[in-house]
Each structure stands twice: as C-alpha cells, then as structure tokens.
Amino acid sequence: MQGAAAHSEALFLFQIVLLVVVGRLFGELMVRIGQPSIMGQIIGGILLGPSVLGFFAPGVEAAIFPQVDAQKSMTEAVAQLGILFLLLLAGMETDLGLAMRLRRSAASISLAGIIVPFTCGFLLGEFMPQHLVPNPDQRIVMSLFMGTALAISSVKIVATVVREMDFLRRNIGQLIVASAIIDDTIGWVVIAFTFSLAKSGTVDLTSIGTSVLGTLVFMIVSFTLGRRLVFEVIRITNDNFKSDLPVLSAIIAIMGVMAMMTDMIGVHTVLGAFVAGILVGESPILTKQIDTQLRGLTTALFMPVFFGLTGLKTDIGVLFERDALLLTLGLIVVASVGKFGGAFVGARLSGLSRAEALALGSGMNARGSTEVIIATIGLSVGVLNEQLFSAIVAMALVTTMAMPATLRWALQRLPMHKDEEHRLLKEDFEATSFLNRFERPLVAVDLSPGSELAGRLAAGFAQSRKTPLTVLNVSEDDDRSSPGTAAEDGAEGETSSPDLRERAETFATRLRERSTRLGEAGEDAPKPEAIHVTTRHRDGAEIGEVLKDSAEKGHDLLFVGLDPVSSESGGFSRRVSDLVSAFASTVAIVVSREGRTPVADNQLRILIPISDTERSIRAVEFGCALAGSSGAAVSVIYILEPGETQQRPRFGREETAHAAAFERVDEIAAQTGIKISKTLQEGNSAEVAVLRHARRGRYNLLVVGVSRRTGERLSYGRIADNLLDTADRSIVFVETEQS
C-alpha cells in the first residue's frame, strides 16, 4: 500500500509538472502568433490526451494519465481550485465603474448579445436528437447550459485582445470590455441557477425560489456590508501581520468563505469566487501588489493545469462522427452568428455607427475560458456528455481564435472623435502626473494646533485622489502634552497614553467628517463619499521603526504636522528632521501659522512659487490636489531676475522660460478643471517677492516644491529655509524631488 501511495504521489507531481511545462510552451507559441495563451494550454492538453497521444501511443497515455479514481481526484482537486482562482482573478479585473459609466449602451449591447445566442442555444438543446442527450430527464438543464455557453463572452479574452491592440482606452474598446463585463456577470448568475437545477434534478419552483432569493441577498450584502468588510480585512492584515504575503492568504480566505456561502444557498461556488474578486479588486490598499501576487500564482500553476485537463477531457475523435461533427459546426455557426448579430443590433439601437457596431459584434464573439469552465461544470454534474463537452470546447477554441483577426480588421476602420481625443489626453496627463505615484498618504500628528492644518490638507488630498488616509499619532515622542493640548483640557503636565489615544481617534473622526463637507458647490450638490481614515499609535516603539514599517505597508506620502516645526536657532526642529529622515518616500511638511489659516477649506487661498524647473511644476499639481475637493483658490507666481525682462528679443517670437512654465500650468489647469491665476514679477530676492505678493493678494497658504539637500541637518535650500524662518503665513514644503 505504501508503494502504491508513493507511486500515486510521484505520478501526481509528474502530471502537474507536465501540464505546466507543456501549457507554458504551447501558450508561448500562441502568444507569438497573436492568440491568447489559454488556447495553447488547451491544445497542449489535447495533444497529451486521447485525441493525439492516446491515439498514437495509448499505452503511454494510459501510464501517464491512468483512469483510476484516486489518481484522477488528485488532479481534479487542483483543477477545481483553478476554477476558483480564475474566477477570483476575473473578478479583480472587472471594472464595475467602467460598466456603470457606460451602463446604457453596454447593457443594450450585452443583453441583445446574450438573448439572441442564448435563445438559439436553448432551442438547439431542446430539439437535439435524443441519442445525443446524456440524460433526457434533464434536457431543460442541458439546454440552459448550451444556451449559456453560446451566449457569454469571456471578459478576460476580450480585454486581453483589446489591450494588446492598444484600444482599451478608446471609447469603443471600453464599450466592448464593459459589455463583456455585464456578459460575464449575468453568465455566472445564470450558471449558478442552472447548477442548482442540475443538483436537484428537476424543475423545483421552491428550490429555484430559494436559490434566487439567496443569491439576491448574497449580492446585496456583498456589495454593501461585504465591500467594507473585505477592505477592512485586507487593511488589518496588511498593517498588522509581519509574515510574508499575509494579504494573499487573507484574499484566499475571503474567496473560500464567499464560495462556501454560495454553495450553501444552492448555487455554484464560482459565483462566490467571482464576487470576491470584484470586492478585492476595489480595495484601495495595495491592489497592484495583490494583483501581481495572485496573477503569478494563477498564471503559473492553476491556469495551465485546469486548461490542460480540459484538453485531456476533449476527445476530438468523437467529433468526427457524423452527428457530433454536425453538432459542432452548428454550435460554431449559431454561436458566431447569434453573438455577432445580437451585439450588432444592440449597438445600432444604442445609436452607434455601422463601423462601431461591426467592431462590437466582432469583439464580443470570443468565448475562451468562460465557456470551458461552463462546459467543465456541466460535465461534472452529468448534464453534458463527452460529445457535447468536446463540441463546446471546440466551439470556444474556434470563436476565440477567430476573434482577434476580425476585431483588428473592424477597429482599424474607426476614426477618433474629438471628445475621445480630449479624454485620452487627460488620461495621459494622469498617467504621467507626479501625483500618480501616491496610493496611501499618512499624516503624522502630535495633536497640536499645527496638526489641525496638516490633517485638513491630508484629508483634502485623500478626498481628491480617492485614497484612504492613515493618522499616525506621534504624541508619545515626549510624555508631556503638546503645545495647546493642556489648555484645551484645562490641565497641565503629563498626559496619559489612553488620553492621547482618545485624542487621536477624535482627531481622525473630525477628518472623516470634514471630508464630506461641501466646498463651493452649494447645498444642492451631492455630498462626496467620506474618506476612510485609520488611526495608528506608536505604542512605545521608536518613531524610525514605525515610519519604516509604514512605508513597507504601502504608505508612500507623509504629511508632517508637528509643533514646533522650526528650531529656535533657525531651520527645522530635530523632531521634524528625524521624521523626515526615517521615512523612505515623499514628505510634505506643513508649517502652520496660527490665526492665518481660515476655518473653512473653501476660503483657502493657495500661492505656488514656480520656476523653469520640473520640481516647481510638480508643486502646482500637488497644490491643485489640495484644492480639488474644497474649491480653494490657486495662483502661481514666477519671479524674474532683475533685467531679465529687457533681455527678451524685440522682433520675432522666442519662447522664454516663464512662458514655457506658464504653458505647463495652463495644461494642469485644463486637465484638473481648476482655475489657476498667473503672475509674473521681478525681484532681487525670490522669497521676499513671494511673501510681498502673498501679503498683497491675501494668500494664506504657500505650496513650495523642494528637494532634500544632503547633510546632517534637514535643509531644502536657501529659499525654502528663509521662507521657513520669515514667512508669516502657513506653508507646505513638498518634496517633488529627492537628491
């Protein structure tokens, strides 16, 4: 017995390695000829199965893949996990925001593209010859599987092809993907109901009603309470666990729990995995890292094993029988014509042009992984036999391999509209923006008056960038209450740790509430969604270790809100210097001047000194982000050196440094939608000229782009140091460059 067990384990490992290697090699071949890699993985499985290896060397095929239940169950277990991971990844790639933005056109195209081929597939199943039906008592269930398999597009295949053709950002490309997303979502709900029918064996209205009600409750709870819960689980795991890849384990647990929940209500586990993927993909913390980790595991192991086993189960030989061949050709024709025709009609009804409708019809006619998973589920519950399974897999292969060529032909005929060109320019600006690097800001506070302004600005930044915000309470740096704190309490001397924690929580609550207040939009405007604010405490740890850990947890921008910011001898204080030195990423130091900053955010008047450097232009982007959610006024000032105005040419046109800088400012204003006033002024001393203009224009916040200088003492250069020591209004020094 021990020898047999050892043999089965060794054979299992050999099977997995063989499927992974063969799938990778043929997948690479398919990618090189412009086809999706899963086609190569399925073809690799077909070559290893009864269709090729079993035909030419049946003994070898039987030795590698013996028809022994215990042996088959081991690889099937990996394949079943593969289905869940594929659906988890598909959910993470599902952009619900995109589907919602294009919901009218996408819904029309998707529904028309589903109804026509689904009806054709269902009728094909109902009128199929009796000898081709595996279980006549479950013909209606088989017909539902057939209709679903013919109707649903594979969002993964569609998105991959559209992305590879550089059309994902075009209007038509986004519409194709949005329609495929709706297709996929509807498809998994339908297949979940169909699975419940297959399990019960009969059309039981009570069972169907229970499944429908359970699914509705599951979906509602998932996209309300579940969305928040998933985010909290990911955040808590990311912020508190010290071991490697804890978030990946948390996501697998979330997927497993939600899959088991859908199984408990009588529908297939794929629906739970798919919804889990959507919720995980919407989590604002470390989504890029999570996606990379999961994609690596799924792509390297589960995909080649699952699709390889699909090829192993596909016996092309049975398709050469007359009835099976006619059935396969009929499926291909019905699937292609039905899907193309339905999507084309839906596009035309949505007001799209003939060329756009052709592209949509071509793009939606790809099945790939979705149909293979549906066919696998149907085969596992006995409503599909080997002939029908092989026919559906063949249909998926043919339609998927035909789709890229037809879509390329259709897309090349489409001109670019002006509104589309404007949107693409804005997206290009966002992609290259200095702000695009920040996903998780952190604000370090000591609960002093200086912390208030830093917290407000950090909350405004998080609101405009739609990111979560973490408040780091560094009050334990000394055991005394910070300046201004004791007076607030009516007590002096030491402040206990529980009191500091309570103050920090109250501070975070105020920031959360502040983020929902209206700016200049008016009382009738919809309130923005509150940002997610988390509080973190030092708990006696060294501040350097806390900030290092924060950076490792994904925090990439530190707002410093301490009091005092400067030392008595000039320059930054030791506490500020230590904080900045300990944080590995970008820092924004907030210098608050009491009585100079208005209570209402929309009364902020921001002045940004600029020059011909990239550093100062990035400061303009940062200032616009601070003003974006509050309606604050933004201005820039360019200081010319004395005599520079006389050096400009009298004849002809030559671009000067300030003209180029103002052009960049105008571009930022156009893309952010924020009006920015510009001033050109001559002055001997830049800092004096800036402060004089700030007083004259009643600006109450300066945003200065700086770069850190080397040395023991924290310094951002002469101008920044002079502003720190002499300015009578609040300042934000933001590191837009690091030396």
Q: Are residues 545 and 601 in the same domain?
A: no
The whole-number average pLDDT for the span 441-456 is 88
- Contact partners, residue 158, CB within 8 Å, separation at least 6: 176, 177, 180, 363, 364, 366, 403
Q: Are residues 622 and 699 in the same domain?
A: yes
Q: Are residues 370 and 276 in the same domain?
A: yes
- 3-class secondary-structure state, position 444: strand
Spatial separation of the C-alpha atoms in residues 579 and 556, rounded to whole Å = 14
Work out the percent of the chain whose per-residue pLDDT is above 90: 17
Length of the chain measured in residues: 739
468 within domain boundaries: yes
Q: Are residues 637 and 517 in the same domain?
A: no
Spatial separation of the C-alpha atoms in residues 93 and 102, rounded to whole Å = 17
Between residues 366 and 552, which one has the greater pLDDT? 552
Q: Last residue of a domain, which of 575, 590, 605? A: 590
Per-residue pLDDT for 392 more than 70?
yes
The whole-number average pLDDT for the span 26-41 is 84
Scanning 480-559, the segments in alpha helix (DSSP H) are 485-489, 497-514, 543-552
The whole-number average pLDDT for the span 393-404 is 81
Task: Measure the CA dihedral 238/244/245/246, to 10°.
Answer: -50
CB 324 within 8 A of CB 311: no
The whole-number average pLDDT for the span 498-502 is 66
Number of Cβ atoms within 10 Å of the Cβ of 496: 10
**Most confident range, picked from 88-97, 409-418, 578-587:** 578-587
Q: Are residues 575 and 603 in the same domain?
A: no
Number of Cβ atoms within 10 Å of the Cβ of 350: 19
Q: Which of 80-89, 444-453, 472-481, 664-673 has the lowest mean pLDDT?
A: 472-481
Q: Are residues 567 and 598 in the same domain?
A: no
- What is the residue-wise DSSP string for 247-266? HHHHHHHHHHHHHHHHHHTT
**Which tokens hold the place of 603?**
């009364």
Spatial separation of the C-alpha atoms in residues 569 and 302, rounded to whole Å = 63
229: domain CATH number is 1.20.1530.20
Q: At what angle do helices 287-297 and 269-281 cross, to 10 degrees?
A: 140
- 3-class secondary-structure state, position 586: strand
- Contact partners, residue 538, CB within 8 Å, separation at least 6: 472, 473, 474, 476, 477, 546
638: domain CATH number is 3.40.50.620
Number of Cβ atoms within 10 Å of the Cβ of 675: 10
Q: pTM of the full predicted structure?
A: 0.71
Q: Are residues 455 and 492 in the same domain?
A: yes
Between residues 650 and 197, which one has the greater pLDDT? 197
Q: Are residues 571 and 709 in the same domain?
A: no
Q: Are residues 22 and 169 in the same domain?
A: yes
The reply to whether omega before 66 is within 30° of 0 (cis) is no
Given this model, what pLDDT does residue 620 score? 94
428 within domain boundaries: no
Kind of pairing, strands 701-708 and 633-640?
A: unpaired
Residue 106 belongs to domain spanning: 2-415
Between residues 491 and 167, which one has the greater pLDDT? 167
Sheet with 605-610: list strands edge to edge: 533-537, 469-473, 441-445, 557-561, 586-591, 730-738, 701-708, 605-610, 633-640, 676-682
Q: Are residues 623 and 493 in the same domain?
A: no
Q: Are residues 586 and 613 in the same domain?
A: no
The DSSP secondary-structure symbol of 572 reads B
Q: How many domains does the chain have?
A: 3
Given this model, what pLDDT does residue 665 score? 93
CB 704 within 8 A of CB 608: yes
Given this model, what pLDDT does residue 255 score? 93
CB 648 within 8 A of CB 654: yes
Q: Are residues 322 and 441 in the same domain?
A: no
Number of Cβ atoms within 10 Å of the Cβ of 599: 7
Per-residue pLDDT for 491 more than 50?
no
Scanning 33-169, the segments in alpha helix (DSSP H) are 37-48, 53-56, 58-64, 69-92, 96-101, 103-126, 139-151, 155-164
- What is the residue-wise DSSP string for 48-61? HSTTTHHHH-HHHH
